[in-house]
Amino acid sequence: MDLRLNRYIAQAGVCSRRAADGLIARGVVHLNGAVVRDLGRRVAAGDVVEVEGHAVAPRAEHAYLALNKPLEVVTTLDDPQGRTTVADFVPAAKGRLVPVGRLDWDTSGLLILTDDGEMVHALTHPRFGVEKTYRATLRGQMETAAFARLRDGGIVLDDGTKTRPAKIRVIAQRRDESVVDVSIHEGRNRQVRRMFDAVGHPVVALERVRFGPVALGDLPLGTTRDLTERELRALQEIRERALARGVVR
Ligand code: URA
């Protein structure tokens, strides 16, 4: 093994490489018992790395799970109010997995969880927005003009920010309700609900059905599955592209 210290810490699932540089600069990282402040420092086999007094080591194997998150579950690992969290659905043998991004309490569907800190960072970085698809049930029958506004982008949301172009596919149209699949690259807070609010069709129900190369498929609600080799390779390619573009350090 010969790894840069920040990468070693990120691969141990502690944080991103950039955040690891911050820890090194703060003097809370020890290599073989001595504080390291050199950001370029490398780690060799047999070296002992400690972060804030705890020994850390990259895992040989990371865990990558897909969860079909039920409604009324918070996307955190601990909830001070004692509500059900996504961690409650992770089999104990998988250890402590972190959610890749978040779904609202009142959104169900696909959430990826992993202990690969670098992957979490690459997949959630706003400059490298992975495409996410949501099945949205909307109030009212959507007219062509509203579709066009969403497809074109540039809708000003309630906080003054503008949306980027979205892909829209109509699944069902009824007199008082529409069902659409909407694909976006952004991940701002309550993004999909705010987009449809802005065009006058509030979201009644929201489910994430795809995250980049990973589809929800028929995974039962409240259960998890390991990502397939193929899905993992596709996610790793995304990570490598983010690395090559300097989005992830
Ligand atoms: N957009 C939303 O409005 N909610 C989610 O949970 C995800 C995307």
Cα–Cα distance for residue pair 84/112, rounded to 1 Å: 17
Distance (Å, rounded) from C-alpha 134 to C-alpha 47? 45
Angstrom distances, CA of residue 220 to CA of 54, 151, 179? 38, 31, 21
Which CATH number belongs to the domain containing residue 14 in this structure? 3.10.290.10
In whole angstroms, give the CA distance from residue 93 to residue 122.
25
CB atoms closer than 10 angstroms to residue 75: 20
3-state secondary structure of 110: strand
**For residue 61, how far is its CA from the centre of ligand 1 (angstroms)?**
31
Is residue 249 situated within a structural domain? no
Domain that holds residue 137: 131-211
- The kind and range of the H/E element at 236 are helix 229-244
> Mind giving me the DSSP string for 10-44?
HHTTSS-HHHHHHHHHTT-EEETTEE---TT-EEE
pLDDT band at 60 (very low <50, low <70, confident <90, very high): low
Q: Which residues line ligand 1 (CB under 6 A)?
A: 103-104, 107, 190-193, 206
pLDDT band at 167; cut points 50, 70, 90: very high
Q: Which of 104, 106, 115, 181 is catalytic?
A: 104
Taking residues 153-172, report their average pLDDT. Answer: 92
Q: What are the tens digits of pLDDT across the range 144-158?
A: 899 999 999 999 988
Q: Residue 16: what pLDDT?
A: 85
What value, to the nearest 5°, has the Cα angle with vertex 65 and ends 64 and 66?
A: 135
Report the percent of the chain where pLDDT is more than 70: 98
Tell me what pLDDT residue 1 has. 64
What's the mean pLDDT in 224-247?
A: 86
Neighbours of 36 (CB within 10 A): 17
Q: Is the pLDDT of residue 159 over 70?
A: yes
The reply to whether 76 and 197 lie within a common domain is no
pLDDT digits (tens, 9 = 90+) for 5-51: 998 898 887 888 899 999 999 999 999 999 999 999 999 888 999 99
Q: Does one domain contain both 239 and 173? A: no
pTM of the predicted model as reported, rounded to 2 decimal places: 0.77
User: Considering its fold, how many domains does the chain have in total?
Assistant: 3
193 and 238 share one domain: no
In a domain, 17, yes or no: yes
CATH number of the CATH domain containing 114:
3.30.70.580
Ligand 1 centre to CA of 85 (Å) is 17
Give the span between the Cα atoms of 50 and 118, in whole angstroms.
18
pLDDT > 60? residue 103:
yes
Is 7 inside any structural domain?
A: yes
The stretches of 105-227 forming alpha helices (DSSP H) are 117-124, 144-152, 191-198
> Residues 52, 71: one domain?
no
**CA 135 – CA 33 distance, rounded (Å):** 52
pLDDT at position 125, please? Answer: 83
- Cα 91 to ligand 1 centre (Å): 25
Q: Is 104 a catalytic residue?
A: yes
Give the model's pLDDT for residue 15: 87
